[in-house]
């Protein structure tokens, strides 16, 4: 779906932001994204998390929770640098797209 592809960048920023606040895991981030209006199935979420890990933005920490292994993700130094760069771009985008609109 084209819309999903379009919004995936926003989703990545949300994931990096939340991973910078506290360790996150798949089901939790699915609920958080749903709260923001992004409905991601596991077929989109997990490949996205893995890509962020492969690109060095997130680190995975498996932890045993109630007899199961839960994969927590935390942000890396590189991820934090990218998130901070994104913050500047988001500010610029908001200023242009929301605050300078002519309508
Ligand atoms: Zn959020």
Domains of the chain: residue spans and CATH: 2-99 (1.10.10.10)
Angle, CA 86 vertex, CA 57 and CA 91 arms, to 5°: 160
Q: Compute the average pLDDT of residues 87-95.
A: 94
Write the DSSP assignment of the chain as a string of letters. Answer: -HHHHHHHHHHHHHHHHHHHHS-B-HHHHHHHHHHTT----HHHHHHHHHHHHHTTSEEEEEEEETTEEEEEEEE-HHHHHHHHHHHHHHHHHHIIIIIS---
**Rounded to the nearest whole angstrom, what is the distance from the C-alpha of residue 54 to the centroid of ligand 1?**
22
Distance 14 CA to ligand 1 centre (A): 6
Distance 15 CA to ligand 1 centre (A): 8
In angstroms, what is the span from residue 16 Cα to ligand 1's centroid? 10
Residues 33 and 14 sit within 8 Å (Cβ to Cβ): yes
- 3-62: pLDDT as tens digits: 777 889 999 999 999 999 999 999 999 999 999 999 989 999 999 999 999 999 999 999
- The pLDDT value recorded for residue 51 is 96
CA of 31 to the centre of ligand 1 (A): 9
- pTM score: 0.88
């Amino acid at each position: 779906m084209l819309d999903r592809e379009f919004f995936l960048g926003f989703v990545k920023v949300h994931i990096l932001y939340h991973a910078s606040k506290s360790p996150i895991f798949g089901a939790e981030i699915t609920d958080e994204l749903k709260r923001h209006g992004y409905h991601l199935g596991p077929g989109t979420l997990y490949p996205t998390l893995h890509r962020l890990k492969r690109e060095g933005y997130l680190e995975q920490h498996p932890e045993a929770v109630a007899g199961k292994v839960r994969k927590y993700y935390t942000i890396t130094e590189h991820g934090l640098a990218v998130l901070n760069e994104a913050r500047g771009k988001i500010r610029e985008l908001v200023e242009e797209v929301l605050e300078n609109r002519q309508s």
